[in-house]
Amino acid sequence: MNRFFSFLVLIAFWHGMLSVHASEKRPNVLLILTDNQSYFELSGHGHPHVKTPRIDAFSKEGVDFLNFHAAPFCSPSRASLLTGRYAMRAGIHNTIGGVSILHQNEITIADYLGKNGYQTAVFGKWHLGMSHPYLPQQRGFQEVFVHGGGGIGQLEDYYGNSHLNAVYIHNGKPEKSMGFSTDILFGKAREFIKTNQKNPFFCFISTPATHRPWQPHPEAARRIQDRGEKYAHNDLALYSMIENIDENVGTILDQIDNLNLRENTLVIIATDQGTRRERQHKELAYDEYHQVFCMMRYPPLTGDSSPPSKALTGMIDVAPTILDLCGVNIPGNMDGRSLKPLLSGQSAWKDDRNLIVQCPRGRERTYWKNATVKTQQWRLLEGTKLFHTTKDSKQLSNVADQHPQVVEQLTALYDSFWNSLPPEKQLLSRHLLGAPDALEVKLNAMDWYRGSAPWHQLHMPKFNGNGEWAIELIRDGRYRFELRHHPREAPMPLGAIRARIRIGETTKTIELAENQNHAILDLKLKKGEFDLKTELHPGLDSPRNKPWGALFVYVQYLGQ
């Protein structure tokens, strides 16, 4: 870890802490983020089939940002949302493979607000690290009710989950729910708001809907069918999930009104990434992958209604906007800017604002890969394709040859960003083992930073790959490593006759009994940074023909 960098971050953090204006009444913040819902999958944005009357009405009560952009994948988009910084500064440029974890030096909105007397909570999807020290309760959230991974049923999620009756992790412990995911999460959020109605609160609802698996919401699907419309299963499932979100949005907005909190509550409704289904382009740098809906209502500024905004805005602007309205100075290391002027009626930026969006979609970042530089009228994609979006919104005509000076200017903006990124090695998020406040840590193979990249529970039956975790042992001592192919809640046989572990240059191998569902290996180790790799060797009756890596490792510190 770069200790000097950490010191500077701490100074910036406490500077923000001391900047609250005590004389002002601090607004509540309700942030609702849906998952993988297209900009156009709202009836108010022109979708011909879904009906979203409550979100449509809400968009007219505040400001609907029509030119709002986010990274084209979950983890980088959420990192930018919570930090106000480009995700690649935090080492995030994919959703798996050890590069979907929010670096421990990053400071979140919840960190800032929690230190300023806010009650903070997250309900739903996290997808920024589920091991120490990256858990949401270690990133400023006091109340945590989340599922693991980027979607229900992914490797990091509680085994066997679906959108119905799932098991969530509630403040570090598994908790069974009864009902559909969106209903459960909004219900928990309403309880939180009711409990904290007399305190300033930051409530973050992050739905796993509408990410795959598309699973019909029973009542919403029935209502759609009762309208006499016929859809394929996936379409019906998706539309029912969207309409159920809309219904829950209406219920929680009604609660805000009934508790007389409307005038002092900033409400933000957005989605995390652009369209994944109907698209014209294959390359990830195009606007259709980045444009998302975002609308904000804060009555002291927006009144009963405000016109939509076409100003260039993005996910990196959410954090500085929240901090600004809550009376906390915006740290100088944020890439975003406060949208307060646009909420107050300003129609456009007073400068030629620019955004850089890049998600390399790999373990290593690559110059210009999946990158775009955006201004109000221009888009430079991957350094070679230039589009005049006010004249060519579908980005069909590359005019780079006609405007070489624009290409040069936007390339300089990108180069400045690229050259400002810390070395990749410095941004590697290591799992910390042996910390006094985390005597057991669960590792999962979604976070392998080398080797294979499994990400879903459906991969388990035939999986035979391997990979490595980047770890840091906090102190000398004895460590116990529990190797499993399935997590503890699904104690199925390993199908292995031998288990091996390597921590740096230290290795250990043990023989296993038939039908054993886990392997225990104890090692005495020195503190330091290492790679952790495991091997499970197949028996004669195994469907695998070579050693593979344990998908889950539970690590305990046993003492000196």
Round to whole Å and give the CA distance between 342 and 349: 8
Predicted local distance difference test score (pLDDT) of residue 57:
97
Per run of 10 residues, the mean pLDDT along the chain (length 560 residues) is 45 47 75 96 96 98 97 97 98 96 98 98 98 98 97 97 98 98 98 97 98 96 95 96 98 98 98 80 91 97 91 98 97 98 96 96 96 98 97 96 98 98 97 96 98 95 95 98 98 95 98 95 98 94 89 97
Predicted local distance difference test score (pLDDT) of residue 9:
47
Q: What single DSSP character describes residue 100? A: S
Q: Is 270 helix (H, G, I), strand (E, B) or coil?
A: strand
Predicted local distance difference test score (pLDDT) of residue 18:
43
CATH 2.60.120.260 fits 430-559, yes or no: yes
Give the list of residues 6+ apart from residue 97 with CB closer than 8 angstroms, or none: 362, 363, 446, 447, 448, 449, 453
Predicted local distance difference test score (pLDDT) of residue 543:
78
Predicted local distance difference test score (pLDDT) of residue 539:
83
Residue 302 preceded by cis peptide, ω within 30: no
Q: What single letter denotes the amino acid at residue 535? A: E
For 465, list phi and psi in degrees, rounded to 5: -90, -175
CA distances from 206 to 98, 150, 237, 372 (A): 22, 11, 19, 26
Closest to 81 (Cα-Cα) out of 68, 73, 70: 70
* This prediction's pTM: 0.95
Predicted local distance difference test score (pLDDT) of residue 24:
60
Q: H-helix or E-strand containing 478? A: strand 477-484
Predicted local distance difference test score (pLDDT) of residue 257:
98
Round to whole Å and give the CA distance between 409 and 289: 24
Give residue limits of the domains in the chain: 3-347, 356-425, 430-559
The top-level CATH class assigned to 3-347 is alpha beta
